[in-house]
Amino acid sequence: MIRMRTDFFAESLGMGTSMVVLLPQAAAGIGMEGADGQAGADAVSARGVPVLYLLHGLSDDCTIWERRTSIERYATEKGIAVVMPEVRRSFCADEAVGEAYWTFVAEELPQLIARTFRVSTAREDTFVAGLSMGGFGAFKLALHHPERFAAAASLSGALDPASLSLELNTGHLAERIWAGRDLTGTEDDLCGLLAAADPAALPALFLDCGTEDQLLGMNRGFLDAARQHGVELTSRLRPGAHTWDFWDQGIQDVLDWLPLRG
């Protein structure tokens, strides 16, 4: 696996930012076994490798998935590229007082990746996932752009940011991002997006949350909304809290669940 910490200028943000990119390679080191082989290498040259956009949580940065899990090893075994962008404390929104992170992650970032790396741009090879705030971002991307993604996964997702508790809603977050407005019916109302979606057009959805997680209630609310509007999704409420041992197992299960082409 080729690993790059990449620094670049983002026009939509008006500033330099960073991402970590993992790219499969044909050879693997001692103790590692790649998934590709010659057939995989031929497929890469023909269409590019599949890619997973992997989003971090509210308190983290673009390096956190590597520092808290073995994502590089897991991705190597699957032969998939992983793009982990810096989205700061933005909820992937064009902030009321701040930067245009929704424009960055939804428009500029995928265009930059397609121009720079040999990854597939086909819907069936493109996936998104994230934890906590990143789980919200993953489902937001999937619901706004179902034509781009084959699958989206949320791990312990902060799926209803309007109901975040005071201890999580630090740094005047609601005022800075949303100017304190009611999110009902907006581009950040995931349940409203479910209601407006064509269930047949949506990517596959995967929701994972711990039964001891403080965000369990909003995850159950999302599941209820999905059932109400006929949206199919794979869901799992299992023992666990808002912790990295939960997400380390969860991302392995997400990679096993992804509909990767052979």
Name the nearest CA neighbour of 203 among 159, 234, 238, 160. Answer: 234
pLDDT at 10: 98
Domain locations in the chain as residue ranges: 2-257
Per-residue pLDDT tens over the stretch 172-209? 888 889 998 899 999 999 999 999 999 999 999 999 99
What is the C-alpha radius of gyration for the chain, rounded to an integer number of angstroms?
Answer: 18
pLDDT at 261: 86
CATH architecture of the domain covering 2-257: 3-Layer(aba) Sandwich (3.40)
pLDDT at 4: 96
Q: What is the pTM of this model?
A: 0.94
In which residue ranges of the chain is pLDDT below 50? 36-43, 166
pLDDT at 164: 83
pLDDT at 28: 66
